[in-house]
């Protein structure tokens, strides 16, 4: 059976390189590509891939929230994170979102192929460096009251926060999400109150620190 794959990465060169390599493999086919999370969610719902190879830091909608949305409906699709980030927060949040595996972008291509086949077979795959991070996180739990945008904010608030942090105007965000400008203003106020932050600049710093967007 052919494993159907969607590649999600905001770098075109990365996607093209992966597609060329994967399509030389037997029983694998890249059926679509996306450069950000929102498109990835739409493609996954429409095409029902077996595996989504997902970058973590992307504009518009990050890989963590995109993964959560793809898997929210109980889809059989598996998500394999392929990221440059080794920070504990990125790894744990991606796995908490439901990803079946996590690889680093400097891995060998053979490892990526092995990981795709592993998660497609309903197993979990973590690269050795990521396994160490997960084990350390399990043994040395961080403070329970540590701020995390993914736990403090709702799904829609996280989405609005990322767009604000990326410099989108209120009217633009409202149009993108299909709601009124007043609704976005309300979300912004709620976000600031929950995080005890008073400026967009501080919101941006917070979003970058929490992995919702890149600097």
Let me know: does 61 contact 35? Beta carbons within 8 Å.
Answer: no
pLDDT in tens, 113-148: 999 999 999 999 998 888 877 776 655 555 444 445
Locate CATH 3.40.50.2300 in the chain.
3-139
% of the chain with per-residue pLDDT over 90 = 60
Is the pTM for the entire model greater than 0.75? yes
Give pLDDT tens digits for 20-73. Answer: 999 999 999 999 999 999 999 999 999 999 999 999 989 889 999 999 999 997
Q: Please say whether the structural domain 149-209 has been given the CATH code 1.10.10.10.
A: yes
Q: How far is residue 133's CA from residue 89's CA, in Å, rounded to a whole number? A: 10
What is the pLDDT at residue 205?
Answer: 87
If we measure between CA atoms, which residue out of 165, 136, 173 comes closest to residue 38?
173
Residue 104 in this model has a pLDDT that exceeds 80: yes
CATH number for the domain formed by residue range(s) 3-139: 3.40.50.2300
Strand order in the sheet with 78-83: 28-34, 3-8, 51-54, 78-83, 101-104, 125-126
pLDDT value, residue 147? 46
Q: Which residue ranges does the chain devote to CATH 1.10.10.10?
A: 149-209
């Amino acid at each position: 059976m052919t494993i159907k794959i969607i590649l999600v990465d905001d770098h075109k060169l990365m996607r093209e390189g992966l597609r060329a390599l994967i399509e030389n493999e037997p029983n694998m086919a890249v059926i679509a590509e996306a450069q950000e999370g929102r498109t990835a969610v739409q493609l996954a719902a429409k095409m029902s891939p077996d595996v989504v190879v997902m970058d973590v830091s992307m504009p518009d909608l990050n890989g963590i929230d995109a993964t959560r949305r793809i898997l929210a409906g109980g889809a059989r699709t598996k998500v394999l994170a392929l990221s440059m980030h080794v920070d504990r927060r990125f790894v744990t949040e991606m796995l908490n979102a439901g990803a079946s595996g996590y690889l680093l972008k400097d891995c060998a291509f053979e490892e990526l192929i092995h990981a795709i086949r592993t998660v497609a077979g309903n197993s979990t795959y973590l690269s050795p460096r990521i396994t160490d991070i997960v084990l350390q996180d399990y043994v040395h739990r961080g403070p329970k009251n540590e701020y995390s945008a993914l736990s403090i904010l709702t799904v829609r608030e996280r989405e609005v926060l990322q767009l604000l942090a990326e410099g989108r105007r209120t009217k633009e965000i409202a149009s993108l999400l299909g709601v009124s400008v007043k609704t976005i203003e309300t979300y912004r106020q709620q976000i600031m109150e929950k995080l005890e932050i008073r400026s967009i600049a501080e919101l941006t710093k917070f979003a970058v620190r929490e992995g919702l967007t890149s600097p």
